[in-house]
Chains A and B, each alone.
Chain A
Amino acid sequence: MLKRYDLVPDNCPKPSRIAGMREKFGFYRGLTMKIAVMGLKAMAIVGLLLSGASPGFSQVITPSMDPTQSILMPSAAGWREKPAVGVGYQEGSGTRDLMGKQVYQFDNSGVDGNLSFKAGNVFVEMYASQNSTNVKLERFYDGQINLQFDDTRLNIALAGNDFMTIGLGVRSTESKDHVDATHDSEITKAVRTIGSISVKTLDIFFLGLGFERVKEENGYAVDLTWNNIVSGLAMHLGQPGGTQFRVEYALAHSDSEENGLTGDLVENRHPATTITRMSGELKFSGLLFSLSSEESTIDANMIENGETVEEIKTVNTQGGVLWIPENGLSLGFYFLTSTADASYHDSNGSFKVKLAYIF
C-alpha cells in the first residue's frame, strides 16, 4: 500500500506545513526541513499527553466512592472511607475522521489496578495502568496517535482532625506514539511530583489546591519542564452505610513552556492547557451510580493537514453502576466515550469492568 509520505521525500514537507512552521516557530533558518517537522510533532505529543492519551476521571479533591477509581491530587487520599484493592479491564474501539472521511480505525484495551490503605492518620494509594491501541493504518495523515500509555502513581496523605489533609505524590508516565511515517513508535517519559492540600468546611464542602511539577524527556527532543496548578470544590452528603451523594468540580491549568534546540535534538514546547473535570455520584442500597467528564483545551495554534488548528479539544465521559458493599467483593461497569477535535475528529467508545475487594 502506498503511504502518503512515499509521495513526498522526508526532507520536503508540503508547502502549507512549511509556511505554518515559519509562522508558528520562526526557527526554520539554518535547520533542515525534517527537524522543523519534528519540532511541530513534538509539540503535539506534549499536548496529547495531557489529555486524550492519559486515562481520565481521576478524582481531584475527594476520592470517588468507587474504591478502584484513582485520585489525581494526593491529599484526596486522606478522605477515603475504607481501604480497598481493585482491578479494571477496558476494551473499546474508535475511528478518526478527516474532512468527512474515515482514515483510521482504533481498537484499544487496558488494565489498571488501585490499592489504598491507611496506618493511623497516614493514607497511602498506589495506582498503575497500561492502555494500548491497535491502529488500522493504510496511509499516514497529520495528527499523532497514541499506541501505548503506562501510568504509575504513589500518593501519601496526612489527615488531621477531619478538617484538613496534606499530600505528596509522584507519578510516572510513559507514552508510545505514532508521530509520522518515519517516527512511528516514539517513546516519551514524564515524571510528575505533586503537592496538594484540601480542607473540609461546613461538614459537607471540600476545597483543594495542588501544584504539579512535570519533567518530560524523549529521544528526539530536548527535555522540558512545566507546572500545573490544580484547584477544585467538592460536596459530599451522607454517611457510610446510608445514602450518599457527591459532586466535584476541578480546574487544572498550565501555561505554555518552551525549550530551545540543543545539539541534534529538536525544540520541545508545551502548549497552554486547561482541563476541567466534573463528577457526580449517588449511592443507595449498596448501588453506586457514577457520572464523570473531563474536558481539555490545548492552545495548539499549528498547521495540520493543511488547516490552521487554533486548539485541540478533547472530551471524555464515563457513566457506570457498581455494587459497593460495606466490605467484601465489589463489582461494577462503566461505559466510556471520548472525542478529540483538531484538524481531525476522533471518536471512541469503551466498556470497562471493575472488580474490587473492600476491607
Chain B
Amino acid sequence: MKKLFLLLLTGLITHVASAQVVTPLLDRAFPVEMASAAGWRFGSALGGQTAFASLEGETENVDTYNVDSSVLFSYQPSNIIAEFYWASPGTDYNWDYTSGALYKNNNADGRFSLTLRGDNNVTLGIGYRIADQDTTSDTIKKSLYEGSFSLRMLDGLYLAAGMQRVTEKFASGDSRKWNRMLAGAAIQIGDPLKRMFRTEASFQTSPETKADNSAIQPHRKTSRVQASAELLFDRFLFSYQYQNTTLGAIELETEDQTIIKHRYGIGIKLGSALLGFYAGQGTQTAGEKELKTTSYQGTLSFGFI
C-alpha cells in the first residue's frame, strides 16, 4: 500500500501540459488552471481535444496510447463567465523509478469555474475540480476548490494569484489535504481576430503534507514553473509551452525528481474555427534514472466573439 501511494505521485509525466494560470491559451480547446483566467476569454467558446503518448523507460516501454479526450464549453453572456471542462477517463502511467516499472491507471478530470469580470481590468473566479484516480489496487477521490483573481494594467499586462485546496480521499477512508498557491504574469497584445501575441509565466507550489494515516506516503513538496508563448498571425497560430516540475524527496529518498516538458504547436483558423496540432517531449529524472515521453495532440475549437 505504501509503495502504491508513492507511485501515484510520480506519474505526472504523461499528463499533457496545457492549462494556463493568468490568461487562457488562444487555442480555445484548453481549460484554464485558475478560474480567474477564464475571465479573459474573448467571448464564448466550444472546443475539444484528444491526446496520445508513448513512454520510453530504461527497462519498460509503452507504445502509443490515448491519454484522454476532452470537451470544453465556456459561456460568456456578459461579464459573467461559466466554464465547463470534462475529460474522458484517461490513461496514465505511474513510474517506479527504483525498478523502472510502469503501472497503468485511469484518471477522470472534470472542472467547473465561475468568473466575474469587472470594468475590464479585474477578474475574480471560483472553481471546483474532480480528478479521481483509479488504480489496479485502489481508488482515490481527488477534489479541488479554488479561488483566484487577476488584474489587467497598462492595457496588456496581466497579474494573477490564487489558491487551491486539494483533498485526496482513499478507499480506506484516510485522506491527504494540502493548499497549492499559484501566481503568474502575462502579456497579451493585438487583435484576437487578426494578429495577436501572448506570453505567460507562472509559478505554483504546494508543501509536503502528511496523510492522516502514517502508512500513506506524504504529498511531495511540489513546485512548478510554466511558460508559454503564442502568436496569432492571420490564419495561423504558433504555440510553444515549457513546464518544469520539481517533486521533493520524501522519507528515505535523497534526491528530488524533475519533470521537464516542451510542447510545440501550429493551428489553422477557418472562420470561427481553429484546428490545432501539437507535439511534445518530456523527461522525468530521478537521480540517474530517466523516463521519456513523446506526445501528440489534436484540437478543434470554435469561438463566438
Contact = CB atoms under 8 A, between A and B. Distances in A.
Interface of A: 91, 93, 95, 102, 105, 136, 285-287, 320-323, 325, 329-335, 349, 351, 353
Contacts of B115: 331
Given A105-B175, A333-B126, A286 B119 contact: yes
Identify the interface centre among B115, B123, B147, B149: most chain A CB within 10 Å of its CB: B147
Nearest to B114: A331
B147 A95 contact: no
17 contacts: A95-B212, A102-B212, A105-B212, A136-B173, A285-B119, A285-B151, A321-B149, A322-B124, A323-B116, A323-B118, A330-B116, A331-B114, A332-B124, A333-B147, A335-B147, A351-B147, A351-B165
Interface string B182-207: 00000000000000000000000000
B118 A286 contact: yes
Contacts, number: 62
Contacts of B147: 320-321, 332-335, 351, 353
B272 interface: no
Given A323-B124, A329-B116, A351-B145, A105 B173 contact: yes
B126 A323 contact: no
Contacts of A95: 212
B122 interface: yes
B293 to A, nearest CB: 33
Interface residues of B, number: 24
B149 to A, nearest CB: 5
B38 to A, nearest CB: 13
A322 B122 CA distance: 11
Contact of A287 (B122, B125, B145): B122
A105 B213 CA distance: 12
A353 B163 CA distance: 13
A351 B177 CA distance: 13
B205 to A, nearest CB: 16
Nearest to A91: B145
B64 interface: no
Given A330-B116, A331-B116, A334-B147, 9 more contacts: A95-B212, A105-B173, A105-B175, A287-B149, A321-B147, A323-B122, A323-B123, A333-B124, A335-B147
